[in-house]
């Protein structure tokens, strides 16, 4: 049999044994969403899954099948509803999936869970899904359960951002399909990036508020919210190394009390 890092590749007796050994379980949370003309639509799935696998390899963890659909894309953070290709879940649906997965992991004696998020709009519904799981299991019963919620972009060190953005970091909301995501995809899945198709029609200029129905004003036609210029596999490796190191440190502090 396999000693795969990927939960679903194990047999049930092997998964049971790994959980009994105390393996941490990683849930990658992604989206199927436009990422410009130059990248595949699975960026928000590929990145958290790869980061989870790197960390799981170091800490003896298991990576669950990723959630490949995300909470509804918004113009200011993912281009919104005006692009063909993007498939949206409603926030409530997304929260219920997160809740159900955590509850069923708990039922099977998993007590160390890390959600690794790759899609900005998933943040709120993930928090709600975790809270609903705690409600459903029972707040008084969950004292032995720890759930960590990580957005991969928050794992990057300030020094790395300064190296990548010497003229100033535009902020993660505008980084959609831009230098951070493009560089990490070039490092991990270069066959899914065609940098020659990047049109550099950004950066987007948004008002600091939302209007509904979403007008999508200010979303660059390419779907890239900032710029792709300067993306490279080397920068992608810097970002991935930061994510891996930071999450390993968080796990050793939160799960092992180090």
- 4-33 binders of Mn ion (CB under 5 A): 31, 33
Distance CA 38, CA 80 (A): 17
Match 């918004």 to its residue by tokens: 74
**76 sits near Mn ion (criterion: CB under 5 A):** no
Q: Residues for the chain: how many in total? A: 258
DSSP secondary structure code for residue 69 in this structure: -
Determine contact, residues 56/33, Cβ cutoff 8 Å. Answer: no
Interaction mask 174-213, Zn ion, x per CB under 5 A: -------x--------------------------------
Closest-approach residue to Zn ion (CB):
44
Residue from 44, 151, 181, 242 binding Mn ion (CB under 5 A)? 44
- The secondary structure of 12-53 as a DSSP string is HHHHHHHHHTT--EEEEE--B----SSB-TTHHHHHHHHHHH
From the list 42-50, 56-64, 161-169, 243-251, the region that binds Mn ion by CB under 5 A is 42-50
- 193 forms beta bridges with 39
Smaller CB distance to Mn ion: residue 33 or 151?
Answer: 33
Min dist CB 156 to Mn ion, Å, is 16
Cα maximum dimension of the chain: 55
Residue from 29, 44, 113, 247 binding Zn ion (CB under 5 A)? 44
Residue from 40, 43, 193, 204 binding Zn ion (CB under 5 A)? 43
Q: Let me know if 44 is a catalytic residue.
A: yes
Q: Let me know if 201 is a catalytic residue.
A: no
Q: Let me know if 92 is a catalytic residue.
A: no
Residue 2: Cβ within 10 Å count: 9
- By annotation, the residues acting in catalysis are 33, 35, 44, 119, 121, 176, 181
């Amino acid at each position: 049999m396999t000693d795969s890092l990927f939960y679903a590749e194990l047999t049930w007796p092997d998964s049971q044994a790994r959980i009994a050994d105390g393996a941490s379980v990683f849930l990658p949370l992604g989206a199927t969403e436009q990422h410009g003309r130059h990248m595949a639509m699975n960026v928000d799935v590929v990145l958290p899954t790869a980061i989870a696998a790197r960390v799981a390899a170091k800490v003896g963890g298991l990576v669950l099948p990723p959630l490949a659909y995300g909470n509804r894309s918004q113009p200011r953070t993912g281009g919104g509803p005006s692009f063909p290709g993007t498939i949206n879940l409603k926030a409530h649906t997304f929260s219920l999936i997160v809740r159900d997965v955590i509850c069923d992991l708990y039922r099977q004696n998993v007590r160390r869970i890390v959600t690794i998020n790759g899609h900005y709009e998933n943040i709120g519904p993930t928090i709600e899904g975790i809270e609903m799981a705690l409600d459903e299991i029972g707040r008084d019963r969950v004292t032995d359960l720890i759930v960590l919620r990580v957005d991969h972009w928050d794992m990057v060190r300030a020094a790395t951002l300064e190296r990548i953005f010497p003229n100033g970091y535009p902020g993660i909301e505008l980084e959609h399909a831009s230098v951070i995501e493009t560089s990490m995809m070039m490092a991990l899945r270069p066959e899914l990036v065609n940098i020659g198709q990047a049109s550099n029609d950004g950066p987007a200029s948004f008002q600091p508020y939302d209007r509904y129905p979403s007008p999508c004003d200010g979303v660059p036609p390419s779907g890239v919210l900032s710029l792709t210029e300067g993306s490279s596999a080397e920068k992608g490796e810097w970002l991935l190394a930061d994510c891996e190191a930071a999450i390993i440190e968080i796990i050793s502090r939160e799960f092992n009390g180090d």
